[in-house]
Amino acid sequence: MLNKLIKDLIDKGAVTLKEQGYSIRSSEYALLTWKQFQEFCNKKGYETYLPSHKDEFITELGKCTPPLRQSTIDRKAGSMKMLDLLATKGTWGKGMLNPLQELLPEFNSFLDAQEEYLIKTGYSECTRETMRNYISVVMRYFQNAGITKLEELNSSHVSAYLLTLRGHAKSTVRCELSRLRKFLSYLYLLGYTSENLAPHVPEYRLGQAQSIIKIWESEEINAVLETVNRASPKGKRDYAFITIAAELGVRSKDICNLKLSDIDWELCSISFVQSKTGKPNTLPLSEKVGSAIIDYLHIRPQTKCEYLFVSLNPPYGKMKSIHSAFHRYVARSGVKVPIHAHHGLHSLRATVATKLLSADVSPDIIFSFLGHSDRESLGHYIRLDIENLRECALSFEDGDLL
């Protein structure tokens, strides 16, 4: 038995909400739910907390008249999970509130073996992290499907997983299939399966028409930025990271990884180690970028987190992704994007490269500015600079070079 008085537990919960920096609104909602729980327990004659009391309370919420919306029940269940963790663990945190399913020991063993193999073959930390996160998701799917040993996997399991990709964008499906193929190949290569299941994953070619990248005009980028509500904390943060991407062409992963210490205000520069290549890069801090960052820093939550961009909800940890926010602003802006054109944050990097090429900036300078690991990477952006390519085209008449 936990032996914790419900009243004392709620009092401790109120203190914990304040210590973790929850907003007044969020704190009031949690405390209201706990008060409802306390009244429920008083009617039942419960004085000390038990997890079963929490479950009973949540069940009763589903029987209210008039009925509560499911979203309301889910939110109250989340508040009760905080109280439950406080009683059983002494505190709660974001990872504790939404824990990922634990993988079986053999599955974790494979992830470690793959990590070791990728390090030996020279893959960057960013690529290794992406592969590990993706494969963890796939293995949780197989685990939920009843797979307890990787050797049990067969083509029917692969086919069943492929069906879960229905409805995704074609470019997403192609990426998912490529990663799945690598995962299955590594399973066989590292001795976890006796059959290579990779050939059971079909090829998926988008074709040239669906492989284009949106190159933004300046007025289009301004239109997207104008949709950001800079009067709100979220808007100030989002405006800052979009401006960094649009002005400097920094990869989204590197924007998320930027630390407060990476900004040198005296030298007006941003210095960071690139996640994809592992190489350092230093970029100029223009007035536009600097102003956007300063505007955000004025409302940035007080937190010990070293990263520049943090979540605006407790416990104010590092932002993991900024892609979805950008897509929402693009949709609101009314900017017309060609069908099948890639128009995520990475398209801003391509736009910066293309504009530099159009301005006759030396490829060597662009190479250094974008932080590419090899000069061949610029070839992709050169292909995008259609207007300049047309000027370089050779003309023929009657088979003779003019």
Give DSSP secondary structure letters for 308-336.
Answer: SSB-SSTT--B----HHHHHHHHHHHT--
- Closest Cα to residue 81, out of 41, 32, 45, 30? 30
Close Cβ partners of 293 (under 8 Å, ≥ 6 residues apart): 240, 244, 263, 285, 308
Q: Are 223 and 357 in contact (CB under 8 A)?
A: no
> What is the C-alpha to C-alpha distance for residues 331 and 328, in angstroms, rounded to an integer?
5
Helix (H) or strand (E) holding 251: none
Instruction: List Cβ neighbours of 195 (8 Å cut-off, separation of 6 or more).
Output: 154, 188
Structure confidence at residue 371 (pLDDT): 75
Structure tokens at 330: 């693009």
Q: Map residue 45 onto helix, strand or coil.
A: coil
CA gap 164, 141 in Å, rounded: 10
C-alpha–C-alpha distance, residues 119 and 348, integer Å: 30
User: What's the pLDDT score for residue 386?
Assistant: 47
The predicted pLDDT at position 15 comes to 92
What pLDDT, on a 0 to 100 scale, did the predictor assign at position 107? 95
Whole-angstrom distance, CA of residue 277 vs CA of residue 331: 32
Domains of the chain are 6-97 (1.10.150), 105-206 (1.10.150.130), 218-389 (1.10.443.10)
Q: What's the pLDDT at 375?
A: 57
Closest CA to 388 of 349, 366, 356: 356
CA–CA separation, 338 and 212 (whole Å):
9
**Whole-angstrom distance, CA of residue 167 vs CA of residue 216:** 27
- By the 8 A CB rule, do 274 and 280 touch? yes
- Average pLDDT along the chain, 402 residues, taken 10 residues at a time: 81 90 86 95 93 93 87 90 90 71 92 93 84 92 93 94 83 86 94 94 65 85 95 94 94 93 94 87 93 96 93 86 88 87 86 83 76 60 49 43 35
Active site residues: 251, 276, 346, 349, 372, 381
In this prediction, residue 380 carries a pLDDT of 57
pLDDT at 230: 93
Q: Identify which of 258, 219, 222 has the alpha carbon closest to the alpha carbon of residue 241.
A: 258
CA 242 – CA 348 distance, rounded (Å): 9
Distance (Å, rounded) from C-alpha 335 to C-alpha 329?
10
393, 388, 319: which is closest to 359 by C-alpha? 388
Nearest one of 355, 360, 344 to 384, comparing CA atoms: 355
Backbone angles phi, psi at 23, to 5 degrees: -65, 160
Q: Specify the length of the chain in residues.
A: 402
- pLDDT at residue 245, as a whole number: 94
